[in-house]
Amino acid sequence: MERHLLDGRIKLRHLQCLLAVAQHGSLQRAAEALSITQPAVSKTIAELEGLLGVRLFDRGRNGARPTAQAELFLRHAGASVSALRQGIDVLSRAVGQTGGVIEIAVLPTLAAAMMPGVLEAFRREWPGIVVQVHTGANQQLLTQLKSGQVTLALGRMSDPEGMAGLTFEHLCATPLCVVVRPEHPLAQQRSVSMADIAHHHVILPPHGTILRHTADSFLRAHGVGTLDDYSELLSMSLARAMTLRDDVVWIASEITVQDDLADGALCALPFATKGTEESIGILWRNDTVPTPPEQTLISAMREAARVRYGMPGLR
């Protein structure tokens, strides 16, 4: 193994393919993300497996899943790619160049609510550096962070196993909110029960996400087991558009709909959501130290959370 690492046969393209397949769970989707063909990805992964002497992915109908050996190697592969990017950025600044790219991951529920101000503050201090923002479910964000594809994430606290190797800085706790458009029939009623909601199309977070688990627990606490008519949406823009247009009910994180509630574009149905709060915060890897530009992003995220939740709540 040491000879393989020292003779230079493991290339950056090997590590990039490895990280892309691990992130996307599919050779085809990894190829699309890397703008190369699927056979090229397959060949590159096969080369890396030959160099390392281990199988890296179990492939089946459900895609490609990292083996135990791959999981051991992924963190170090990600750290190598991340360190190379940081080294290039440091060198660029040292020779007077202002370019560079920082890749971060943000939950879709937080992107529109918090990131515009964060990115504006960042551009003022680092005008020559590009911030690439990836969005996805919380588990996907953690995978990207652990593999080194991104250096920071804005997401939710996960279970201890999911948080292994990561630092989490709590920013705020946001509860669920049940919202409709002002013209919705339920918005006209003096009192609303969860049974009333079950008669309408309901928009829920995707199955398997932390937010969906909280929403399901919330529904069960109000006597609703399984809904007959519902959608599962990760896209907040689509969920918002559907709620503004039709008589649907959207169960969302309050931070996602906070501006629409303040503007009157949406209204919250009168359900007590105490106990549904989830911790939102900044995540980075334990084995890395945020660079000065990343520290600026962290400071801007802290300020965005303070502005959002340092003021009287909407309820």
State the Cα angle at 221 between 220 and 223, rounded to 5°.
Answer: 60
Q: Which residues contact 120 (CB under 8 A, 6 or more apart)?
A: none
Each residue's pLDDT tens digit, 220-274: 998 887 888 999 998 999 999 999 999 999 999 999 999 999 999 999 999 988 8
Q: Give the separation between CA 23 and CA 108, rounded to whole angstroms.
A: 17
Check residues 175 and 91 and name the one with the higher pLDDT.
Answer: 175
Q: What pLDDT, in 10s, does the model give residues 18-69?
A: 988 988 888 998 888 888 999 999 999 999 999 999 999 998 887 898 998 8
What integer pLDDT is reported at residue 310 of this predicted model?
A: 67
Where do you find CATH 3.40.190.10 in the chain? 75-172+278-309, 173-277
| pLDDT confidence of residue 127 | 87
- SS3 (DSSP) at 38: helix
SS3 label, residue 214: helix
Helices (H), 53-157: 68-94, 108-125, 138-147
- Read off the DSSP letter of residue 196: H
Please give the Cα distance from 146 to 282 (Å, whole number): 14
Backbone angles phi, psi at 95, to 5 degrees: -100, 15
At the topology level, CATH places domain 12-70 in: Arc Repressor Mutant, subunit A (1.10.10)
pLDDT averaged over every residue in the chain:
86
Residues contacting 207, CB < 8 A, separation 6+: 232
In sequence order, which ranges of 202-291 are alpha helices (DSSP H)? 210-221, 236-245, 254-263
For domain 75-172+278-309, the CATH class is: alpha beta
Residues 6+ apart with CB under 8 A from 297: 102, 104, 118, 122, 131, 152
- Residue 4 scores a pLDDT above 60: no
Residue 212, CB-side half-sphere exposure with 13 Å CA sphere: 17
Q: Name the fold adopted by 173-277.
A: D-Maltodextrin-Binding Protein; domain 2 (3.40.190)
Task: List every span in the chain annotated with CATH 1.10.10.10.
Answer: 12-70
Which DSSP state fits 120?
A: H
